Amino acid sequence: MPKLEYHRRILPDSAPTVAPGATAYSRGVVKRNYALVPPDGVLPSRLPDYRDTTVNFLAAPQMGARFAQTMLLIEPGGGTMAPRNDGNQHFLLLREGQLRLKIDGLDEIVLEDGGFAYVPAGLGFEVTNDTGETARLLEFYKPYEALPGVDTPAPIISSLDATPVENFSGQEGRGWQCLLPRGDMAFDMEMNVLALAPGTHFPSVETHIMEHALFMLRGGGMYMLDWDWHEVWTEDFIWMGPWVPQQFYAGGWEESAYLLYKDVNRDVRFD
């Protein structure tokens, strides 16, 4: 997988510092009920509880989302300064590299490229990069909506390679990987990988209450958001608010796949 720069556009050595028209074009869009965030427009920052780590915020409540999603670039020797425990539930997916991961109450493990972990609210976790290469960690977090009489979920550690591919739609060319237990009421969210063969598309325009966070893992295509069509590529991020009309057509010559969050298993909120 090619390494992507989140803080500058890569140009040939012979090109000017700012190419003509470069500042007048962007695929990025932020509206009241959806956003498309390509990596080239995201500016890096730092977090106080990480060392030698760059954070790229892809979504946050300031955008209108009820969650936060980041891409962490953890340099050799970098990682958490202390167990990260902000009271939220966290989902981690390692996009590149290798990290040591320690979740409260569990033995430390080595997370490889494609490994993922669910850290329940109330537990802390630590990540450390002991390799000589920068690791890229996709992090999702939000408050947990507890249910009376239902225990908080237990931690989950697995990998994309170890997760079976299923087809719930019966439509040829589509596949799902459920990274969290589907239909388990202890979870207030799903985190799935949806894969679509070239030319595959949703059978209808979806309009529903679920909020989405979508991160393109590979491939690309055309995504319709609130009746506007957008070209999407690998590493793009999309936020979809409740009831935004949406549809996707997979393009190109290879399978497209994205990591998709949605909020489920809970009643409506009146806040």
Tokens at 243, concatenated: 């009831």
In the DSSP assignment, the letter for residue 3 is: -
Quick one: how many helices (H) and strands (E) in the chain?
A: 0, 19
Q: Which fold has domain 29-263?
A: Jelly Rolls (2.60.120)
Tokens 């998709």 found at: 260
Say if pTM beats, i.e. exceeds, 0.85: yes
Domain positions in the chain: 29-263
What confidence score (pLDDT) does residue 17 get?
Answer: 56
pLDDT of residue 41: 87
Helix (H) or strand (E) holding 54: strand 50-59
Provide the 3-class DSSP secondary structure of residue 62.
helix
What pLDDT, on a 0 to 100 scale, did the predictor assign at position 13?
57
Structure tokens belonging to residue 101: 């991961």
Contacts of 80 (CB under 8 A, 6+ apart): 49, 50, 51, 125, 126, 127, 128
CA distance readout (Å), 27 to 37, 162, 233, 237? 8, 34, 10, 11
Amino acid 2: pLDDT: 46
- Mean pLDDT by runs of 10 across the 271 residues of the chain is 46 54 78 96 94 98 97 98 96 98 97 98 97 98 96 97 90 92 96 96 93 98 97 97 97 95 94 76
Nearest CA among 55, 183, 75, 67 for reference residue 130 = 75
Query: Among 235, 258, 228, 245, which residue's Cα sits nearest to residue 29?
Result: 228
Strands 89-96 and 115-119: antiparallel
Residue 25 burial by Cβ neighbours in a 10 Å radius (0-12, 13-18, 19+): exposed
Return d(Cα 55, Cα 156) in angstroms, integer: 24
Q: What is the Cα 33 distance to its own chain's centre?
A: 18
Please count the CA atoms within 13 angstroms of the CA of 139 that sit on its side-chain side.
24
- 115 closest CA partner among 51, 67, 179: 179
The four Cα atoms 219, 170, 267, 125 give a dihedral, to 10 degrees, of -50
The residue written with tokens 């239909």 in the block is 183
